[in-house]
Structure formats: C-alpha cells, structure tokens
Amino acid sequence: MPADRGQGPTISEVAAEAGVGRATAARTLGGYGYVSPELRARVLAAAEKLGYRANALARSMSTGVSHTLGVIVADIGNPFFAGLLRGISDTARARGFDVIVLSTYENLQQEIAATNVLIDKRVDGVIVSSAALDRDQVAHIRAAMDRGIPVVLVDRAVAALDLDAVVIDNRDAAREAVEVLIAAGHRRIGFVWGPPVAQPPSTRRELLAAASASLWTDGERLRGYLDALDDAHIPFDPELVMAGPKTEERVVGEVGRMLALPDRVTAVFCTETDGMTGSLRALRKAGLSYPDDVALIGFDDSAWAAVMDPPLTMIAQPVHQLGAKAAEVLLDILGGAEPARTMHTLRSQLIQRASVAAPPE
C-alpha cells in the first residue's frame, strides 16, 4: 500500500458521493453510454464538489489510446523547430490531442531514448525530425512502427524509411538562391554547408558522396547549389564549400579562408542561421562589407535578418504550415486513413532584401 500521495478523488469516490454505481459515474464522466439526466446531474455535482479529474493513465490503460502525439525535434533551441512545433500543437489541440515534445539536440542516442520514452508512454503517434542517416540508424523508428505506432517524418526525409514526410523544397530553394546570386553577376559563390564530414571533400564526386551520407536536407541543399552552378556552366570549386562541424567559430574561419583566396568569393550562401551570423563576423573581420564587397543569402528568415543594415535576403520556410501539415497527416492516419508514404512538399519563399548586389569591379 503506497503512502498517501494525494492522487485526487477516483471515480469510485465520486460514485459514492453521488450515491450511484461506479459504472454510472464512469459513463457520465467518461462521456459515453446512457445515463439519466438526474443521475448525470448528481454525478457531475459530486465530481465538481470533489474536484475530480480523470486519471489519463488509467484511461489509456483500458482504452489503449492516449490522445497524445509525441514529437521529437532535432533542436528545440532552433527557432525553426520552435515554429514547427507551434504548428503541430495548434493542429493537435484543435483535434483534441495533447502533444509531448522531446528534443534530441541532434544526437542520435537521445533520439533513440526519446523514441523509447514515447513508446513507453504509449503515445498514439509520433512526428519526428530525425538525425538518422542510413539503414542501421533507423531501428528505433522501426521499433515504434512495429508496435503499430504511426510515424510521420517532418523537415527531414529519411531514405531508409518508407514513411510520409512533410518537407520543403530544399533543393529548389537552394537553387533559386544561387541563381539570384548568379543573375547578379557572381561566379565565385561560397557555400556554407552543414554536415560534419570526416574529411573535406576535394572533388565533386566526394562531395556528392558526402551529400548522400548526410541529412536529407543538407544533401538537397547541396544539390540545389550544384544545379544552379551547372545550369550557368560555372565550374565547381571545392575550395568554396565549407563542410564539417558547423559551429559559428568554424564558419568564421572557413568563410575567412574563402575571403582570403586569391580569386576570392564574392558571394556567400548559408544553409543555416548560424552560418549567416558566422559569415557576417568573418566579413567584418576581413574588413569587408555587404552587399558591395560580398553578396549574402541565408536560410531561415527572422526578425533580426530584417533589421540588419542592410537587411538580409533570406529564404523563409513555412514553419507553422510545415508543423500543421505533419500533424494533419498523422492525425488522419490515426483517424483511419491509409498512410500515403509519400513526400508532402511545401514551398519556401526567397525574401529579397538588400544583401545582394553585383560583384565588385
């Protein structure tokens, strides 16, 4: 007999207080089955008086459903995911579902742990932006699926997983940005990339290989960059892409390097927010300014980007919509819909401001 932990009144106590059987109390409180108006009123009054709240755990145990969605995001500290989450929450709440959020901070071990937490807590479905790269890194997601828990991918598709994925047109978005740069006259375009590759790719082939071994989004963005270059017949130069652990410090160093090249970069395209802040610092350090010395375009718009002087040209992702769509897809599956197992692609938007000009000279 566990010590009194004040769990609050149970349905039996409410039934006793109302002078009815527990089943009757359960029916009115659970909102199912028939109960006469009078008894219903008595039960409601008793519940009110006692401050009754249903034990969701007990309820889930007997019904097998929790009306709860589990969400695993890669980094809740990233405004992108925070926005995504809001889209998910809004949609889930509107349909009567609670949301449990877990952040992995881009760490696969934490993602596995998070998945297990969600399985253990018996959520009805899962939305995940996974850090998994290949076949041997998706066992945890498979485990959830095997248990009959529907999973929807968001932001990042995973090739090894044949699931619904709600994403944006990363490749097109990147291509469009680079095309804008090219149209302005640039040919030496730096690419601040994400993946922590083992060693810097020195050929196009190695780069492509690295792309395939990276997060889907990263791969797509790289392909978009290459697409634009190819279309304009601009030769690819491995010196102009930064890969490797993308801390702001490293970005500063790498962009600095590209800026110091004999045939230096005249434009920089950043695939992440911290790529942009790092690039800005590198510019300042080199005594250069934008857009005249160097043109700049980055991913993920924000209030800050708009108030920079000059304001930054950025790619805005429809974050709220992305989350909302992911929730909808999952909720539909929970509602009985057959999973489409396809990619749902949303359009991003290039917001042209004032960080792109023609190259110097």
User: Closest separation between CB of residue 334 and a second copy, Å?
Assistant: 11
Q: Of 21, 57, 4, which Cα lies nearest the Cα of 12?
A: 21
Binding mask 27-66 for a second copy (x = CB under 8 A): ------------------------x-xxxxxx-xx-xxxx
Count the site residues for a second copy by CB under 8 A.
Answer: 59
Among 17, 26, 83, 267, the residue binding DNA under the rule CB under 7 A is 26
Q: Does 289 bind DNA (CB under 7 A)?
A: no
Q: How far apart are CA 265 and CA 257, in angstroms?
A: 9
x/- mask, a second copy, residues 64-103, rule CB under 8 A, reads xxx---------xxxx--xx-xx--x--------xxxxxx
Candidate list 306, 337, 340, 358; residue touching a second copy; CB under 8 A: 306
Which tokens is 204 given?
């196009």
- What is the distance between the alpha carbons of residues 64 and 81, in angstroms, rounded to a whole number? 30
Q: Which of residues 29-48 bind DNA (CB under 7 A)?
A: 29-30, 32-36, 38-40
**Per-residue b or e along 250-272, where b marks 16 or more CB atoms closer than 10 Å to that residue's CB:** bbbebbbbbbeeeebbbbbbbbb
Out of 41, 45, 49, 61, the residue judged to bind DNA by CB under 7 A: 61
Binding mask 151-180 for a second copy (x = CB under 8 A): ------------------------------
**Closest to 127 measured CA to CA, from 95, 159, 96, 149:** 149
Report the Cα–Cα distance between both ends of the chain, in Å, rounded.
83
* Spatial separation of the C-alpha atoms in residues 119 and 47, rounded to whole Å: 32
Q: Does 63 engage in binding with DNA (CB under 7 A)?
A: yes
81 vs 71: CA distance, rounded Å: 11
Per partner kind, with CB cut-offs from 5 to 8 A, the member of a second copy, DNA, none near residue 136 is none
Asked if 168 and 315 count as a contact pair (C-beta separation under 8 A), the reply is no
Residue ranges that bind DNA, judged by CB under 7 A: 1-2, 7, 10-12, 20-24, 26-27, 29-30, 32-36, 38-40, 52, 54-55, 58-59, 61-63
